[in-house]
Amino acid sequence: MKMKLLMASACALALHTAPVSAQDHAHIGHDMATMADEVVIADLNIESSAEGSGTARLPRNEGGMHGLHLDIADDWMIMAHGYVWGVYTDQSGPRGDDKAYAQSMAMLTAERSFEGGRFQFKSMLSFEPLMSNRGYPNLFATGETAGGEPLVDRQHPHDLFMELAARIDFDVAEGSSLFLYGGPVGEPALGPSAFMHRGSAKLNPEAPITHHWFDSSHITYGVATLGFSSRKFQVEGSIFTGREPDEDRWNIEKPRFDSWSLRATFSPSPNWALQVSHGFLKQPEFTIHPDENEHRTTASAHFANGNGLTATAAFSAKNRDPGPTLTAYLVEVNWDIDDHHSLFGRFENVKNDELFPDHSDVLHEVPFRVSKLQAGYAYRLPLSGPVNLALGGSVAKFLKPDTFDTAYGKSPVGFTLFAKLSLGH
């Protein structure tokens, strides 16, 4: 171990003394920290995972939270991360629309280690409530309401409070801990890490049309989670509020703790994180389906090679009670080709019965399977320190039954342009 640490120190000294470019200087601190971490990891054979949203795990190769890290008094570490997207989208067809809008998220975490464990305060805010409750155009997306009417072909804005929670870990063995997580706003142990926290979706400005199959519970008003975490395994269970946020997006809603979930995650190597989960949600869409509960089962595989390539594949079955079982599939990828150029893409296929909310429509509550295929490019520009800018765009093609030609046109498409200013990446 001492020899490995000496080697790491020698390599760090070589990095410090060798002639370097301005761009190299920007990477030295990160490279040295990563090198020291990898020496310890190799010696202890630890194959842990990075933290996603809530208590979800991601491949360790995705790394920790990127952004601004500050050490303050009493051994506290403050970590800040966030972004603002400026987006313009144009979705074609009779149900299509165009809109310029802004998305935003700010995360602030305070962390302190103590003898035998770790404590975290976690907060996440968004100013998307400034957007109309109708959100932005997103063909074949459904979920939540605006003005009491179901949102169809739109993506709703997020609430002001996306997370206000705390987590405490107690070490029980080398590399293993018991943890408690919870708060007035948080995320239960259900589904994969939310899309805005996955490396495979970091440059995609559009929410998945399968969002309400996989990660719609990432903003939950009232959650408590108990779990066990080791180097390769994590098992956890939550009680939480099953009802999704209402249209008042500025407040904190009443916790109900009327739902539950279980999740198991396996991290066989730094490249992978595999999860399966199941949950019962009481009246999740209270306005649209007031008499229906939901049993949701998900499975996902997350991959990160540590060299710019991240990917996610996921499946979900949403069983309404009473009602049908509706399934969804998702595959998404992000490839940072080099320091500036990135390609990203997403394929989704979902069975949905909410596309025709008018009760007089013959297609009302008839389930149909639709698909979305999206591909995009981004040019990344580091500005100063952890501040980055990404400029890019995407194009989407939608596959649907011929029955939808009148409502959606024969071959609907979507075009999106964006600028993403972020603290971290």
How many Cβ atoms from other residues are within 10 Å of residue 154's Cβ? Answer: 24
Provide mean pLDDT across the span 342-364: 96
Least confident of 62-66, 197-201, 309-313, 403-407: 62-66
Min mean pLDDT across 26-30, 80-84, 214-218 is at 26-30
Who contacts 66 (Cβ-Cβ below 8 Å, separation ≥6)?
81, 386, 424, 425
β-pair partners for 413: 397
Helices 22-44, 2-17: crossing angle, 10 deg rounding: 180
Share of the chain above pLDDT 70, in %: 88
The CA distance from 8 to 30, in Å, is: 14
Gyration radius (Cα) of the chain, Å:
22
pLDDT of residue 181: 98
Q: Rounded to the nearest 5°, which phi and psi values hold at 256?
A: -120, -30
Instruction: Decide: 309 and 333 in contact? Cβ < 8 Å.
Output: yes
246-295 pLDDT, tens per residue? 999 999 999 999 999 999 999 999 999 999 999 999 999 988 888 899 99
Q: How far apart, in whole angstroms, are the C-alpha atoms of residue 199 and residue 286? A: 32
Q: What is the pLDDT of residues 151-207, one digit of tens each?
A: 999 999 999 999 999 999 999 999 899 999 999 999 999 999 999 999 999 999 999
Residues 210, 316 contacting (CB under 8 angstroms): yes
CATH code of the domain made up of 54-423: 2.40.160.10
In the predicted model, what is the mean pLDDT of the chain? Answer: 89
* pLDDT at 337 > cutoff 90: yes
* Per-residue pLDDT, 404: 96
Query: Facing residues of 168 across strands?
Result: 119, 180
- Tokens encoding 362: 């013959």
> Is residue 8 pLDDT above 50, yes or no?
no
Q: How confident is the model at residue 66 (pLDDT cuts 50, 70, 90)?
A: confident
Residue 349, Cβ density class (10 Å: 0-12 exposed, 13-18 middle, ≥19 buried):
middle
Q: Residue 48 — very low, low, confident or very high, per pLDDT cuts 50/70/90?
A: low
**Residues 287, 145: Cα–Cα separation, whole Å:** 8
- State the pLDDT at residue 121: 96
Q: Cβ distance 297 to 316 under 8 Å?
A: yes
Tokens of 109: 């975490």
How do the domains of the chain map onto residue ranges? Answer: 1-45, 54-423
Q: What is the pLDDT of residue 33?
A: 37
CA-wise closest residue to 332 among 424, 216, 204: 204
